[in-house]
């Protein structure tokens, strides 16, 4: 899916549908991840996140939003309660930047910028989903040094056939909107993203067999693939990841928006 095309469709719909309101705002909160290194904690926040949005409200129930987000995700086997993960001893961190187009559905009739009454509410829970793209770049720290994992053979592929550091992502989640005063709205939101990649953390399948690679691959590649201190060549072909096909990341936080009300906005 090409994001420029989605943006074009968004703008065309906004111009051709009977105008209601524009809404613009900024987001602050946290980001997190679920995948091969954090398989069981869906609410674990890794780091701070921030973003912005441009939204078109078509009526009291439906809105279309162009959303940009940036954060950081991380996980470490050393912090796991699972003995197998502790022995594996892999860690990673990665910046994530997302651009998405989302549809929102309000459970109650809520129209930002209008006074409550005549069927409208001052607040409402809402659901959302959409389509977008995410850019990531997993890294690790080994003996105090930072390494870009994409540049090393940590699983069963060589550098000529490495994974892409961008992927399609499907956002979905819930939130609550509240009109705090006039045109100002405060929004709390929890949103997950299913990434069409299993490499947000550089962990996906099996340990590589370094016997099929040149002698140079016995060095740092092997240590980053298996920082447990065991011999990687002895683990060749054994499970390194959890074999789930996709990683997930999330954003949790609040957004403050300002509504620009059209002169043609109907009264409810």
Give the chain's domains with CATH numbers.
3-139+162-198+247-259 (2.40.160.20)
Structure tokens at 189: 């939101």
Report the alpha-carbon distance of residue 109 to residue 20 in Å, rounded: 14
Helix ranges (H only) for the chain are 3-16, 83-88, 220-225
Share of the chain above pLDDT 70, in %: 81
Burial of 19 (0-12, 13-18, 19+ CB in 10 A): middle
Report the alpha-carbon distance of residue 192 to residue 133 in Å, rounded: 13
Give the global pTM.
Answer: 0.85
- pLDDT band at residue 112 under the 50/70/90 scheme: confident
pLDDT at 164 exceeding the cut of 90: yes
Report the Cα 164 to chain-centroid distance in Å: 16
In the prediction, which pLDDT does 214 show? 57
- pLDDT band at residue 221 under the 50/70/90 scheme: confident
pLDDT digits (tens, 9 = 90+) for 113-146: 666 666 688 899 999 999 999 999 999 998 889 9
pLDDT at 177 exceeding the cut of 60: yes
Average pLDDT over residues 195-210: 90
Structural contact between residues 27 and 50, judged by C-beta atoms closer than 8 angstroms: yes
């Amino acid at each position: 899916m090409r994001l420029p095309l989605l943006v074009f469709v968004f703008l065309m719909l906004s111009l051709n549908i009977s105008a209601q309101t524009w809404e613009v705002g900024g987001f602050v909160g946290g980001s997190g991840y679920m995948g091969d290194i954090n398989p069981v904690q869906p609410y674990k926040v890794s780091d701070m996140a921030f973003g912005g949005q441009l939204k078109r409200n078509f009526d009291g129930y439906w809105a279309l939003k162009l959303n940009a987000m940036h954060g950081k995700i991380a996980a470490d086997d050393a912090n796991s309660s699972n003995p197998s993960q502790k022995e594996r001893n892999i860690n990673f961190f990665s910046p994530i930047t997302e651009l998405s187009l989302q549809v929102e559905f309000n459970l109650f009739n809520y129209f930002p910028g209008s006074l409550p009454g005549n069927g409208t509410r001052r607040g409402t829970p809402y659901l959302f989903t959409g389509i977008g793209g995410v850019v990531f770049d997993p890294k690790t720290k080994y003996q105090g040094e930072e390494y870009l994992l994409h540049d090393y053979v940590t699983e069963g592929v060589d550098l000529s056939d490495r994974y892409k550091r961008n992927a399609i992502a499907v956002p979905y989640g819930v939130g609550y909107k509240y009109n705090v005063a006039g045109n100002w709205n405060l929004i709390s939101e929890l949103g997950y993203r299913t990434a069409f990649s299993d490499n947000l953390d550089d962990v996906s399948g099996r340990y590589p067999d370094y016997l099929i690679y040149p002698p140079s691959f016995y060095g740092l590649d092997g240590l980053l693939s298996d920082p447990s201190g065991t011999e990687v060549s002895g683990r060749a072909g054994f499970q390194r990841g959890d074999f789930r096909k996709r990683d997930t990341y999330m954003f949790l936080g609040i957004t403050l928006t300002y509504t620009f009300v059209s002169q043609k906005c109907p009264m409810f």
